[in-house]
Structure formats: structure tokens, C-alpha cells
């Protein structure tokens, strides 16, 4: 597998969560941000942003998907999984991803093209995370044009 390009199953997972994000933006209490955890090309956890719905600032889509995957697999070791998200994961979500052992993340909208509200430490870049610990692959901008309108002005 090439590490510098999404696989067919990763692209399919991205298309699925883009559909979920577009649907969730119209659901009460949810926001149009979605994530999935896949293993061997199969989804093992998924979620949409539920911060407002649950009155919990940790209920980002990626965090919900991580919890679902760990529950489904019966382990917190997700080192053989890939995180897929419609928005570049924030600092909290990247940290949680790394605590779970995930070494590959693929996302649509990139930090440079979205409203600043999605990142609380704007001086801390994705590359800082990659340099600070065990290396991981991050592929951004995948199908970005399909979701950028959701995040560029901070409406979600």
C-alpha cells in the first residue's frame, strides 16, 4: 500500500462520511462534521460531531468514532486502523488518535482553508504533532471541495 495516497477503501469511506456530515448538519444538535475508523477497509466505528447534542466539548466526530471503534473491537489499541474525517482533526482529536495507536489519518478540509474556531492552538500545526512523537501519515485535502463550504466560515 502506498502511504502517500488514499486507498480505494479509504476514498469510499471518505465519500460515506461526507454524506453523513451533510446529513448531520440538518439534524438537531449535531454539526456537519463526521469521522470513521476503518480496519482492513471496513468501518469499525463512526460518528458525527455531538458537542451541542451531548453538552460535551469532547464529543467531536473523531472522538465519537474512536469510542465506537474501541467498543466494537473490545480494545483501545487501534494501531491497525485508519482515521477518516471530513475536517482536519483538532489538537484533542489528534492526541486521542495517537493514544489509540493510529498511525494514519485522512481528512477532507484542511486547517489552512477553514475558520480558526476549529483549532484552539493555531500555532500548533499538524507537522508539530508528526515531529513530536512516533511518526504517522496525514493526508489532507481529499475531496475537500465537497465539504469546504461547511467549514470555511465556521458555520458548523
Which residues are catalytically annotated?
62
- By the 8 A CB rule, do 60 and 30 touch? no
Radius of gyration for the chain, computed over Cα atoms and rounded to the nearest angstrom: 14
Q: What SS3 state is found at 134?
A: coil
Helical H segments across 49-117, by residue range: 51-54, 61-73, 91-99
Amino acid at each position: 500500500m502506498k502511504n502517500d495516497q488514499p486507498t480505494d477503501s479509504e476514498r469510499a469511506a471518505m465519500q460515506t462520511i461526507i454524506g453523513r456530515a451533510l446529513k448531520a448538519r440538518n439534524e438537531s444538535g449535531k454539526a456537519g462534521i463526521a469521522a470513521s475508523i476503518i480496519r482492513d477497509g471496513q468501518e469499525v466505528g463512526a460518528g458525527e460531531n455531538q458537542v451541542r447534542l451531548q453538552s460535551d466539548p469532547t464529543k467531536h466526530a473523531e472522538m465519537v468514532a474512536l469510542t465506537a471503534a474501541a467498543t466494537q473491537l473490545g480494545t483501545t489499541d487501534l494501531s491497525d486502523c485508519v482515521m477518516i474525517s471530513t475536517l482536519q482533526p483538532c489538537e484533542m482529536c489528534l492526541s486521542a488518535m495517537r493514544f489509540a495507536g493510529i498511525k494514519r489519518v485522512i481528512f477532507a478540509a484542511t486547517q489552512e482553508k477553514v475558520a480558526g474556531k476549529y483549532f484552539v492552538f493555531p500555532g500548533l500545526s499538524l507537522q508539530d504533532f508528526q515531529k513530536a512523537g512516533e511518526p504517522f501519515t496525514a493526508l489532507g485535502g481529499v475531496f475537500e471541495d465537497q465539504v469546504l463550504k461547511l467549514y470555511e466560515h465556521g458555520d458548523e
